[in-house]
Chain A
Amino acid sequence: MRRGCITREGPVRRPSPTPAKRGNDNGDTMPGLTLDTVRKDFGSFTAVNDVQLSVPHGTFVCMLGPSGCGKTTLLRMIAGLDLPTSGAIRLDGDDITRVPTHKRNLGMVFQSLALFPHLSVGENIAYPLRIRGAPREEQRKRVDELLAMIHLSGYADRPVAKLSGGQRQRVAIARALTRSPKLFLLDEPLSALDAKLREAMQVELRQLQQQLGITTIVVTHDQREAMTMADTVVVMNKGEIRQAASPMEIYRTPADTFVADFIGSTNLIDMDTDSTGRAVALGQAIPGLSAPGGGKAIISIRPEDVQLTAPGSEGAITGTVTFVRDLGGTIETFIDCGGKPIIAVSTPRARPDVTVGQPVGIQLDPGVCVVLAK
């Protein structure tokens, strides 16, 4: 169930501030989270640059980007732990920009997990109820419910220090969900786990989110994690959203060279337009492609979309094989095309038998090439 109905308006500052009251007829009162030109400056450094994003109710969003891209700052502003320099954050139509964290009804899982070391598993999970003064019976019932949900029934009286990494992770998730929050925020939640456990937790977290139908935002730098869990992947770089779309869309039609390069691996090839208006790349005219505006552009083609043929065949670019990595299931062929390195990934059966030093032909199928602005 992929929903991917996020709008992105790019880093453009809106001229007028948000009107005090919004009618029901425009889209802003729909349930969900809206970030309206949210900006955060630390001195002269802009951590988050006028971000525009709307997350419909019940969506699972992964914010993905290199470290220092502003994704954690953005999450902390949604949580109310940092105040934006300018812009507005709305939840179900209500402006929560200046609402203090403890009044926002959200659940957050920290990278460090931040489980309270002096409390047991059950007391950690019951903490939000205890400080609200809920009756003991209610606390016990809710703790039992949540422990059953995370498959840790009977662990209520254990000290947190006695749990394994994965168990602590689940306790932190349960504690964040105790109040049935409107928003579920996770900051690099699985980074402390080993690879195998992390993959299992990704599936578990996704299933939990679908079961509860809760709006969820996860910050991660692991693209596999983002691809596994998200309805919508938000790719960020240097404080700006570069693309927000479904995982498949992000992979198949990246919005720019940063996204193309950051998600998966890709070949970025310079493209030019000759005097007759044909697109030319690597010295070969490629019919079916055209640069927007007719100038220079960049072609992004995934290694698995690069077809290898016999050298000299119709419409093929000829290059020399420089290295072959045979991984059994797939074979990676490194090719030098007049100084430009190209990587092709093919299955053993669909690949001509070429070895290092031999010439090979490359087909760039216009149907799988994405033309990006230079």
Chain B
Amino acid sequence: MRREAPQKLTDYGPLAFPAIMLIVFFVIPFGTMISVSFFQRLQGGFYTPAFVFSNYERFLSLFFANVLGFSLMLAVLVAICCVAVGVPFTYMLTKLSRRSQIVWMVALLSVLSLSEVIIGFSWSTLFSRTAGITNLLVALGLMDKAIALAPGFPAVLTAMVYQALPYTILVLYPALVRLDPTLTEAARTLGATPIRAFFSVVVPALRTTILATLIMVFIFALGSYLLPQILGRPQHWTLSVLITDQAIYQSNMPFAAAMAVFLVLVTLGLVALTLFAGRKREAVT
């Protein structure tokens, strides 16, 4: 069904409510943050309105470049892990009976009710030397003695994937349920093994959904600041950790705001690049 293009000003009426919500809850706070990022910090106090670039200048150092690079790399890795685990998992989930699908979904949704703090400390217990999962492996005879798995990069990655996976599955589920099951059957009758059929038919048919999921998990992971602190060493701290540190513990709001603005800009740039690359590939095929 094609709708007529809006003619009069009143035709835009239905947009008023979302527009107001967007302005109040996004544009105004974000505008405040941008303006604060140019303010002058008062040593021992808070800040005074000004228009200085010192906050951004301070950011342009190798240290912050490294932290930014690590944050982006971690977020990309979390996104890739979540999709790599989530797509096959959700695909198999859609093949189950209605009843078991509901059980799985409820279990997944219950993970969402856990706070980041609880997830962080639970994993740090599981990865500890004294009470962790390595003790189980020792009991099974697979390891000689229990070791500590945290703090460390794998621990951070595991916990962040764990936290983001339910979102990944919830986003993938509708698209996979709608996918015509005869597509894989057709691929099999045409000589593809079930695994080949999955990669040559299911994955490409879902590429738009997969791209959207990657971006969503990427942005979600970029904002994580508790898990890297609980489960990582200082070199595993993300930019979000530093922003929190500056804003809350150092009371340096202008610098925190400048970092946040920079992070948002880099993120938007990367997302735009991904979408552009995705559209270009679509045009070729």
Contact = CB atoms under 8 A, between A and B. Distances in A.
Contacts of A81: 185, 188-189
A84 interface: no
A108 B186 contact: yes
A131 B180 contact: no
Nearest to B208: A118
Contacts of B187: 116, 127, 131
B285 A176 contact: no
Contacts of B201: 116
A58 interface: no
B191 A179 contact: yes
Contacts, number: 71
Nearest to A117: B205
Nearest to A104: B189
Contact of A118 (B185, B186, B207): B207
Interface residues of A, number: 29
Contacts of B96: none
A131 B189 contact: no
A178 B190 contact: yes
Contacts of A104: 189
Given A118-B204, A120-B285, A132 B191 contact: yes
Contacts of B191: 102, 105, 128, 131-132, 179
A28 B187 CA distance: 30
Nearest to A76: B185
Contacts of B183: 114, 116
Given A110-B182, A112-B182, A118 B285 contact: yes
A118 B182 contact: no
Contacts of A101: 185, 188-189
* B186, B189, B201, B207: residue with the most chain A Cβ atoms closer than 10 Å: B189
A70 interface: no
B205 A176 contact: no
A79 interface: yes
Contacts of A119: 204, 285
Given A127-B190, A131-B200, A114 B285 contact: no
Interface of B: 180, 182-183, 185-194, 196, 200-201, 204-205, 207, 285
Given A114-B186, A127-B192, A127-B200, 4 more contacts: A102-B196, A114-B180, A131-B196, A175-B190
